[in-house]
Structure 1
Amino acid sequence: MNITTPHRFGIRLAAVAAAALLLGTTACSTGTEGGGDEGGAPEGDLKIGLVTKTDSNPFFVNMRESAQAAADENGAELIALAGAFDGDNEGQVAAIENLVSQGVQGIMITPNSSSGILAAIKQARDQGVLVVALDTATDPEDAVDATFATDNFAAGEAQGGWVKASLGDDEPQVVMLDGTPGGTVDTFRHDGFLKGMGLSEDSPEILGMENTNGDQTKAQTAMENLLQRAPEANALYTINEPAAAGGFAAIKAAGKEDQVLIGSIDGSCTGVENVKAGIIGATVMQFPTKMAEQGVDAIVTYANDGTKPKEGFNDTGSVLITDQPVEGLDSEDTEWGADNCWG
C-alpha cells in the first residue's frame, strides 16, 4: 500500500537511553562481544535484533515468538524491541541505535513509517549490520537488504472481492476502519480493498472512514461513530482482526449483526475462530512465522559467510479464509485455517 507521509525524527543519545528503559527486550543464548563488519560472527556470538511496531498486537507477539524460536535453533541471541505504539517512529529509531550499540549482526524491523526510519537504517547498514524488513516494506524498497512480507495490496483486494461478491445484488454501503495514516501496510490494504470492491476513494458507496491504529478499543469507538453517521452501512473493511473485533462489538451493541458484513486481514487462530462463529465473514491469512524464520535465516547466513539475501520484496503468501466461498476467489475453510493459522 504505498502512499507515505514523511515523519520528522531526531537521533539523540537521550532517545537511546530512554529506549533502553522503555522498550521491551527478550534475549537468549548470550555470548561474548564480537562480530565483523561484513558478517562472519564467531559461533555462539551471534546477536540478532528485532524491532516491531508494538509489543502487544497479537501479530507482532507471534512474530517475536517465532523469531525467538528460530534464533534458539541457530544458537543466537535475540534482542527484541518495539515502539510504544503503532506509529511510534522515533521509538523505532532509538531501538535501531540501541541494537547497533549492542553489537548485533543483523536487524529485522517492521517499520512504523516506511520513509521516516531510513536514516537510522542507513547508519546501521553503514556499520555492517544487515537490515531486513518484515511485514512492511520501506520506501524506497532498497533501503533495506531484503523484505519478507505479505503482498498487502493483494490481501486487501481479496478482502474487497469477497465482500463485493457476498453482498450480491445489494448496493454496497461501505464504512472503513483503517490503521495508521501514511503507513505502507495500511495504504496497500486500503487501496487493495477498494480495487476488490470496484470502488474509488471518492465513490458515493463509501460512507465513512476512521483511523484505529489497528487497536481494538479505538476501533470500537470509531465504529460507534461511523454507525451514528451511517446507520445504513452494510459492509465493513477492517485493517486487521483487532479492528474487526472492535467493530463487531459496536455493531452488536447497535443490534446490526445481521446487517453489516465484515472482512478483515490477519489470519490469527482467534480470527479464524471468529470467522467460524460468523463474527467475521472472511479474513486473509498472513504468515508472520514464515517472515520471522526467513529473516533470521538471512541474518544467520550473512553472519556466517557474508552472503546477503535476495534483494527486494519476497512474498510470504496469503490465503483467504471463509466458510462462505464465492465464485472466482480461491479460499480455504476455517478447518484449514485452524490447522495453518500464522504458520
Structure 2
Amino acid sequence: MNRRLSQRLLVAAAAFASTAVLFGATGCSADNAGGGGGGGSSDQVTIGLITKTDSNPYFVNMREAAQKAADAKGAKLVALAGAFDGDNEGQVSAIENLVSQGVDGILITPNSSSGILSAIKDARDQGVLVIALDTATDPADAVDATFATDNFAAGVAQGTWVKSSLDGKTPKVLLLDGTPGGTVDTLRHQGFIKGMGLTEDSPEILGKADTHGDQTKAQTAMENLLERAPDANAVYTINEPAAAGGFAAIKAAGKADQIVIGSIDGSCTGVENVKKGIIGATVMQFPGKMATSGVDAIVAYAKDGTKPKSGFNDTGSELITDHPVDGLESKDTAWGAENCWG
C-alpha cells in the first residue's frame, strides 16, 4: 500500500500545482454514487470507468454492474462518459481527470480503437492499470487487457441467421449502420456481410445509412431507404434501438411480413422485442460480465500487483431467437429473458 499511497500523493501534488486540473470536464459526466475517487482511506481501491456515453442503456447496465462489483469489493468507483458516441476528446479528458484523482485502474470503452492511445499510455506510465471493455484497442497491447464481445463473430452470427431465414430467397439487404469509423460498428458490419456470404460491393446490398445506434435516426433512415428499395427483404442493424426504429418504419410501410431483421445487443428490452417478432434474432452480449471482470482485475492488481491475462478476453455472446435455423446454435427468448445483459 505504501507504493500506491506514494504514487497518489505525487499525482495529487502535480494536479494541485497545475491550473489545468480536469474535474467534471466538458464532454464528461460523473456518477458520484460510488464516491469521488482518490480520497478517503489510502487502503481503499479506486476505480475509474469511462463509457462512450452515459445514456445508452448498454452503458448504463455496464456502469450499474461495475458499481455493484465495486461495492462488493469495498472499492470506490468514479464513472465518467463521453458526451456522445464518438467523443474521443471527452474520453481523453476523462482519462486525465481520473489519473489526477489517483485511481488505481481505469476501465474504458474506447470510442476509437486508436484515438485515445496517447492518453492511455500516459496513464499506464504513471502506474495506472488500464483495461478496455467492449471495444479493443489497436494495437491490443495498448491496454493491459481487454474484456469484450467478439463483435466480428457476433456480426457473422446475425448475418448467418438472416440469410438462413430467407429460405433460399435472393437477399435484398438494407444496412442500418452505427457510427462511421467506430471499431465495434465496423466489426459488426463486416461480420454481418461475411455471414450473409456477400461483399461490400455485392448487388444484393440495396442501401445503407448511418444511425449512430439511435432509434429515431434509424426510423428516419429506414423510411428513406424503403423509398429507394421497396422490395428489400433483409435488414442488418447495429444494435437493438436501431432495430426498433427500423421496424417502426417497416411496419408503417406495411412490410413487416416481407422483411427479416437481425440485431446485436441482448438487452432485456431487445429480447422482449424478439419474442414479439419485432426483431427476428439478436446476438446477446454480456456487459455486466465485462464490467465485473474489469473491477475484479483492478482490485487484484491494487492489492498484490497481480495483472489480468493480457490481450483479448472474449466475454461471450449468444444468438437469441424463437426461430432457430439448422447449423447455428441459438437460445430461445425464455433463456434470453433470464440472462439478458448478465
Asked whether the two chains share a fold, i.e. TM above 0.5, the reply is yes
Tell me if structure 1 keeps the 8 A contact 2:177–2:211: yes
Q: Hey, what does 1:315 align to over in structure 2? A: 314
**Pair 1:93–1:28, CA change in 2 (3 A):** same
Amino acid at match of 2:22: V
Q: Measure the CA separation in 2 of the matches of 1:318 and 1:87.
A: 24
Tell me if structure 2 keeps the 8 A contact 1:285–1:321: yes
Q: Hey, what does 1:28 align to over in structure 2? A: 34
**Pair 1:330–1:312, CA change in 2 (3 A):** same
Q: Displacement, 1:33?
A: 3.7
Matches within 5 A, 1:101-140: 101-140=100-139
SS in 1 for 2:264: strand
Matches within 5 A, 1:272-283: 272-283=271-282
Q: Measure the CA separation in 1 of the matches of 2:133 and 2:216.
A: 25
Amino acid at match of 1:248: F
Q: Measure the CA separation in 2 of the matches of 1:198 and 1:31.
A: 49
Unaligned runs of 5+ in 2: 1-17
Q: Hey, what does 1:193 align to over in structure 2? A: 192
Q: Please tell me whether residue 324 in structure 1 is matched to residue 327 in structure 2.
A: no
Runs of 4 or more, structure 1, over 3 Å off, are: 12-18, 29-34
Q: Hey, what does 2:304 align to over in structure 1? A: 305
Q: Displacement, 1:187?
A: 0.9
Tell me if structure 2 keeps the 8 A contact 1:148–1:313: yes
Q: Hey, what does 1:258 align to over in structure 2? A: 257
Tell me if structure 1 keeps the 8 A contact 2:218–2:245: yes
Tell me if structure 2 keeps the 8 A contact 1:15–1:94: no
Q: Measure the CA separation in 1 of the matches of 2:38 and 2:176.
A: 47
Q: Hey, what does 1:5 align to over in structure 2? A: none
Q: Please tell me whether residue 59 in structure 1 is matched to residue 58 in structure 2.
A: yes
Amino acid at match of 1:113: S
SS in 1 for 2:96: helix
Amino acid at match of 1:28: G
**Pair 1:241–1:169, CA change in 2 (3 A):** same
Q: Hey, what does 1:288 align to over in structure 2? A: 287
Q: Hey, what does 2:242 align to over in structure 1? A: 243
Amino acid at match of 1:259: Q
Q: Measure the CA separation in 2 of the matches of 1:266 and 1:144.
A: 24
Q: What do the CA deviations read for 1:304-335 (whole angstroms, capped 9, x no partner)?
A: 01111100000000000000000000000000
Q: Measure the CA separation in 2 of the matches of 1:19 and 1:227.
A: 42
Q: Measure the CA separation in 1 of the matches of 2:171 and 2:286.
A: 30
Tell me if structure 1 keeps the 8 A contact 2:37–2:101: no
Amino acid at match of 1:76: A
Amino acid at match of 1:206: I
Q: Displacement, 1:30?
A: 6.2
Matches within 5 A, 1:74-93: 74-93=73-92
Tell me if structure 1 keeps the 8 A contact 2:146–2:313: yes
Q: Measure the CA separation in 2 of the matches of 1:218 and 1:31.
A: 36
Tell me if structure 1 keeps the 8 A contact 2:36–2:78: no
Q: Please tell me whether residue 221 in structure 1 is matched to residue 220 in structure 2.
A: yes
Q: Displacement, 1:229?
A: 1.4
Q: Measure the CA separation in 2 of the matches of 1:97 and 1:209.
A: 37
Q: Measure the CA separation in 2 of the matches of 1:62 and 1:26.
A: 16
Q: Hey, what does 2:15 align to over in structure 1? A: none
**Pair 1:218–1:31, CA change in 2 (3 A):** closer
Q: Measure the CA separation in 1 of the matches of 2:233 and 2:165.
A: 11
SS in 2 for 1:111: coil
Q: Measure the CA separation in 1 of the matches of 2:292 and 2:248.
A: 34
Q: What do the CA deviations read for 1:259-311 (whole angstroms, capped 9, x no partner)?
A: 11100000011000000000000000000010000000010001001111100
Tell me if structure 2 keeps the 8 A contact 1:284–1:321: yes
Tell me if structure 1 keeps the 8 A contact 2:46–2:75: yes
SS in 2 for 1:113: coil
Amino acid at match of 2:132: A
Q: Hey, what does 1:151 align to over in structure 2? A: 150
**Greater RCO (CA < 8 Å, at least 6 residues apart):** 1
Q: What do the CA deviations read for 1:206-229 (whole angstroms, capped 9, x no partner)?
A: 011111111111111111111111
**Pair 1:58–1:32, CA change in 2 (3 A):** closer
SS in 2 for 1:19: coil
Tell me if structure 1 keeps the 8 A contact 2:52–2:86: yes
SS in 2 for 1:131: strand
SS in 2 for 1:27: helix
When the two chains are superposed, the root-mean-square deviation of aligned CA atoms in Å is 1.8
Q: Measure the CA separation in 1 of the matches of 2:208 and 2:21.
A: 34
Q: Displacement, 1:256?
A: 1.1
Q: Displacement, 1:232?
A: 1.0
Amino acid at match of 2:32: T
Tell me if structure 1 keeps the 8 A contact 2:131–2:145: yes
Percent identity between the aligned chains? Answer: 76
Amino acid at match of 1:184: T
Q: Hey, what does 2:332 align to over in structure 1? A: 333
Q: Measure the CA separation in 2 of the matches of 1:21 and 1:167.
A: 43
